[in-house]
Amino acid sequence: MTLLFITEITEKINNELNRVSTFFEGNELIMNIGKGKTESIVFGTAKRLAKIDQPIEFTFRGQIINFVEQYKYLGTTLSNYLNFSLNFENSYKRASSRLRLLEKVKPYLNIPARKKAYEMMIIPILTYSSIVDLKFSNTQLNKLSSIERRASSIIGNEENQSIKNIIYKEACIGVRKCLEDKTCSNFQQYFKLNCHNKATRNQNAFVKLPKVKLEIARKSYYYFGAKIYNELPLYIRLAENFSSFRRLINEHFQ
């Protein structure tokens, strides 16, 4: 990032903030720009961010907005590299903490109650916003497995459903919703089927994989979500309607 580029970004954003300030003042609104409330962050690759050699200062009514390298938004931790590894670690720590709590109350709960507590209080932590980074590292997969083993030991029954499978199932359901226009307008053209006139095995059942260059793009839902969907058995992808698809995929990922 050149000096000119950073200067241009800073100037444009500060101009927009001045316009926001005018609007707020005219409508008797206020903005809390305290630390942890309104903060600024620049996203990019490690290589590009390393080239920033000057402070970036955005101001609102003369006050400098705190500049951060990570920000928690709606329960998801966004780092300036957008690799979501920090979000995974935070989710893992929270899930581990709740598992320890479940272990403490284990003597007072029967097996169905322990299982229900695990499904409602721990699994959602690890599956919330998980499709933004579907390609897990070996270390992350080992941590998910450790959660599953500890949960099975605490609950005291057979092995529980794989957390990875739950995430992959929801990712595939999301792809199908996009293909059938059962989602918001922003995602209705997010995935496209590879349609052609040749009589092939995957005719009209294969999602086009976008051309990507960066590894972070290969981990994205746009790319890796489509890849997971394409790896489903053909009979699931050819399900005639969404209800049939959901039933078949639930059976597949049991």
SS3 per-residue string spanning 56-104:
CCCEECCEECEECCEEEECCEEEECCCCCHHHHHHHHHHHHHHHHHHHH
Q: Are 151 and 184 members of one domain?
A: no
The total number of structural domains in the chain stands at: 3
pLDDT above 70 for 174: yes
Is there a domain that residue 142 lies in? yes
Q: What are phi and psi of 97, to 5 degrees?
A: -65, -40
Mean pLDDT across 62-77: 86
Q: Are 186 and 109 members of one domain?
A: no
Looking at residue 2, its pLDDT comes to: 52
Residue written as tokens 């972070």? Answer: 216
Is there a domain that residue 12 lies in? yes
Token pair for residue 138? 């070996």
Per-residue pLDDT band for 125 (boundaries 50, 70, 90) equals very high
Is there a domain that residue 78 lies in? no
The CA-atom distances, in angstroms, between 80 and each of 71, 72, 86, 88 are 8, 11, 10, 15
Q: Are 106 and 148 members of one domain?
A: yes
* Euclidean distance between CA atoms 95 and 146, whole angstroms: 11
Q: Which residues pair with 70 in a beta bridge?
A: 79
pLDDT, averaged across the chain: 86
Q: Are 135 and 154 members of one domain?
A: yes
Is there a domain that residue 74 lies in? no
Q: Are 148 and 201 members of one domain?
A: no
Per-residue pLDDT band for 15 (boundaries 50, 70, 90) equals very high
Is there a domain that residue 58 lies in? yes
**Residues with Cβ within 8 Å of residue 121, at least 6 apart in sequence:** 98, 102
* Euclidean distance between CA atoms 48 and 133, whole angstroms: 21
Cut 0.85: pTM above it? no
The CA-atom distances, in angstroms, between 202 and each of 181, 226, 232 are 21, 14, 11
Is there a domain that residue 80 lies in? no
Query: Which of 118, 133, 160 corresponds to the end of one domain?
Result: 160
Cα-Cα-Cα-Cα dihedral sign, residues 142, 146, 149, 155: negative
Q: Are 172 and 238 members of one domain?
A: yes
Burial of 178 (0-12, 13-18, 19+ CB in 10 A): buried
* Euclidean distance between CA atoms 58 and 33, whole angstroms: 11
Is there a domain that residue 75 lies in? no
Mean pLDDT across 155-176: 88
Query: Which of 160, 182, 206 corresponds to the end of one domain?
Result: 160
| Inter-axis angle of helices 163-179 and 138-155, nearest 10 | 110
Instruction: Give me the domain span that covers residue 13.
Output: 3-68
Looking at residue 139, its pLDDT comes to: 94
* Euclidean distance between CA atoms 67 and 9, whole angstroms: 14
Pair type for strands 66-67 and 39-40: parallel
pLDDT digits (tens, 9 = 90+) for 177-234: 998 888 888 887 888 888 766 666 666 788 888 888 877 778 888 888 899 999 999 9
Is there a domain that residue 125 lies in? yes
Per-residue pLDDT band for 76 (boundaries 50, 70, 90) equals confident
Q: Are 119 and 197 members of one domain?
A: no
Cβ(100)–Cβ(108) under 8 Å? no
Q: How many CB atoms lie within 10 A of CB 174?
A: 19
Looking at residue 35, its pLDDT comes to: 80
- DSSP 8-class letter at 159: P
Q: Are 151 and 125 members of one domain?
A: yes
Closest CA to 130 of 85, 97, 94, 188: 85
